[in-house]
Structure 1
Amino acid sequence: MGTVKRLDATDKAKELIRELADEFGDLMFYQAGGCCEGTQPMCYMKGDYIPRTADVKIGSVCGYEFWVDRDLFEYWKNAHFTLDVLDGFGTGGFSLEMPRGKTFKVHYRIFSPEELEQLEELTYFE
């Protein structure tokens, strides 16, 4: 039990994360379900954003926590997240990659029934 990861990242995303960490230090990711930033994953300096009670940590990328809004997670709880990066600007300007003309994006795929039985445990923000 607990062998299937809920989160992964493309090599391109990992490269950008390392660049951001070199400049800003420890990072964190948060994916909201709200209206302003849509559901675009946002990259912050660790501590610059505090998850809400019951938000869910689905894993880490390059050692940095990836949190998901509790309501959005309920919708996507049966899906694997792959963090990617695209050229261009996303829906807002708060994420650290924006000044570089980049935007993080998540690709989703639904877990198989076998994978669902072997998912890593979740962490909830308290």
Structure 2
Amino acid sequence: MIKRIDATEEAKKLIHELAEKHGDLMFYQAGGCCEGTQPQCFEKGGFFPRMNDAMIGLVEGYEFWVDRDLFEYWKYAHFTLDVLDGFGPGGFSLETPLGKTFKVHYRLFTEDELENLTAVKRNE
């Protein structure tokens, strides 16, 4: 099966650092507004996905949720979670005090990949 999300080595290192400090994590990527579709990292349970939001996979064992409307736009794309130096537009994410910000790179799935994608979990 083809995963819908992966992470760079830099993102993985930061995730482990955040997990050591905060415990279990979760990610949520909203559809816009003040955070500008920046992926946000929270302590698990620190954010509640809305009805029909999509959990597209796990990043280092932690759920990565996508806003239901944004997922409809990006459902044919692979996500790669990365991290950059600097502050994202929202500042609500756990990496912000470290002077870091998560970012997603996208690429379209190939036709072969589309036939073998892992299932999406919907929040009901």
Q: So what's the TM-score if we normalise by structure 1?
A: 0.97
The separation in 2 between residues aligned to 1:36 and 1:12, in whole angstroms, is: 25
Is 1:33 equivalent to 2:31 in the alignment?
yes
Letter of the aligned partner of 1:50 in structure 2?
F
After superposition, residues 11-90 of structure 1 pair within 5 angstroms as 11-90=9-88
Structure 2 segments unaligned to the other structure (5+ residues)? none
Per-residue deviation at 1:38? 1.0
Secondary structure in structure 2 of the residue aligned to 1:52:
coil
The separation in 2 between residues aligned to 1:36 and 1:56, in whole angstroms, is: 20
Secondary structure in structure 2 of the residue aligned to 1:36:
helix
Secondary structure in structure 1 of the residue aligned to 2:65:
strand
Letter of the aligned partner of 1:27 in structure 2?
L
The separation in 2 between residues aligned to 1:103 and 1:16, in whole angstroms, is: 10
Aligned residue for 1:102? Answer: 100
Letter of the aligned partner of 1:101 in structure 2?
G
Aligned residue for 2:110? Answer: 112
RMSD (Å) for aligned C-alpha atoms: 0.4
Q: So what's the TM-score if we normalise by structure 2?
A: 0.99
Deviations along 1:74-103, one digit per CA (max 9) or x if unpaired, are 000000000000000110110000000000
The separation in 2 between residues aligned to 1:115 and 1:61, in whole angstroms, is: 19
Per-residue deviation at 1:34? 2.4
Deviations along 1:5-27, one digit per CA (max 9) or x if unpaired, are 00000000000000000000000
